[in-house]
Amino acid sequence: MSAIKNRYEFVIFFDVENGNPNGDPDAGNMPRVDPETGYGLVTDVCLKRKIRNYVETAKENESGYRIYIKDQVPLNRSDAEACEYLGVEPDKLKEAKKKDPGLDVKIRDFMCKNFFDIRTFGAVMTTFVKGALNCGQVRGPVQLSFARSVDPILPQEITITRVAITKEDDAEKKGTEMGRKYIVPYGLYRAEGYISANLARKTTGFSEEDLSLLWQAIINMFEHDHSAARGKMAVRELIVFKHDSELGNAPAYKLFDLVNARKKDGVEIPSAYSDYTVTVDEAGVPEGVTCTRMI
C-alpha cells in the first residue's frame, strides 16, 4: 500500500443529547467546560479513543490493523513484538542499536506496519523493561483538535436512586441508595483535523486504504459506543478539504473559516440538530482545493 499523496483538512460536527460526552476527572466527572466562556469541550484523546474502538471492532485484529493503545494490553507487550520480529532480546536492545544504527528505523517500520493507530496518530513508544525497551517516537500524519461546542452548554446534575444496596449492614437500614450523574441536555460540538501527506510518505506509510477507513471510523465513531452515560451522540457532518498537492494549496485556517454553524432564526436555546444550519462557503474554496461533505 502506497502512502497518500494529498494533504487534507477536515471538520467534524457531532452532538449530544441528555448525556456526558467527555467527563472531567478533575471536576467529579462533570462534562468538560471552558470556565471562562461556558463552551463545552471534548478532548482529542477522547475522539481518538472512539476511532480506535471502531477500527478494532471493524477489523478484529486483522493483520496491519491492530490497535497499539487499548484496554488490558500493556504497551511493553506490543513493543517486545518488534524485538522478537527482529531477533533482538528486549534487554539487549540498547546494545543492538549501537551495532546497527538502522535498527531504530526497522523497529519504527514494524510498528507502523502492524498498528493502525501508530500509522495514523503516531505514538510514544519509549518504555522500560529490564533496562531499556525503546521503540522510539512516531509523529503521526493525522492530528485532531479539541472539540468545542458551537454555543455555551448548560450541564445539569441529576440525582438517581437504585434499589440494590451495597452492604449487608446498610440493607437493614435503608431500601435505596442515592447517586448522581451529569448530562448536557443538548450540545453541538465542532472538531477540526489535519492530515499530512508529507509525514505519511516519510514516516508512517498511512495509505489511501487507511484514509478510507479513517473516514468510515469518524462517521461511525459513536454508533458502537452507546451507553446511558453518554446519552444520544451522533456525528452530523464530516466536511473534508482535499489539496491537489502533498504540501497543500491553502492555509488550513482559511479553509476552516469557510465552515460555519449558526442557530436558525428564532432559536434561543438549541435543543436539537435541526435548530442549526451548517454551511460551507464553496465559492470561497481556493484553487487547488476541493471540498466534500461526506455526510
pLDDT at residue 174 in the model: 77
Residue 165 above 60 pLDDT? yes
pLDDT digits (tens, 9 = 90+) for 110-124: 999 999 999 999 998
- Nearest CA to 272 out of 16, 20, 11 is that of 16
pLDDT digits (tens, 9 = 90+) for 247-265: 999 999 999 999 999 999 9
- How far is CA 93 from each of CA 68, 115, 131, 132, 292, rounded to the nearest angstrom? 20, 21, 9, 7, 46
The pTM of this model reads 0.92
Residue 140 above 70 pLDDT? yes
pLDDT at residue 128 in the model: 54
Residue 288 above 90 pLDDT? yes
* Mean pLDDT value across residues 69-96: 80
* Mean pLDDT value across residues 142-169: 89
- Nearest CA to 289 out of 2, 3, 7 is that of 7
pLDDT digits (tens, 9 = 90+) for 15-51: 999 999 999 999 889 999 999 999 999 999 999 999 9
In angstroms and rounded to an integer, the radius of gyration of the C-alpha atoms of the chain is 23
pLDDT at residue 194 in the model: 98
pLDDT digits (tens, 9 = 90+) for 123-133: 988 765 555 56
End-to-end CA distance of the chain: 27
The span from the CA of 51 to the CA of 64, in Å, is 16
Position of cell 526497522?
A: 106
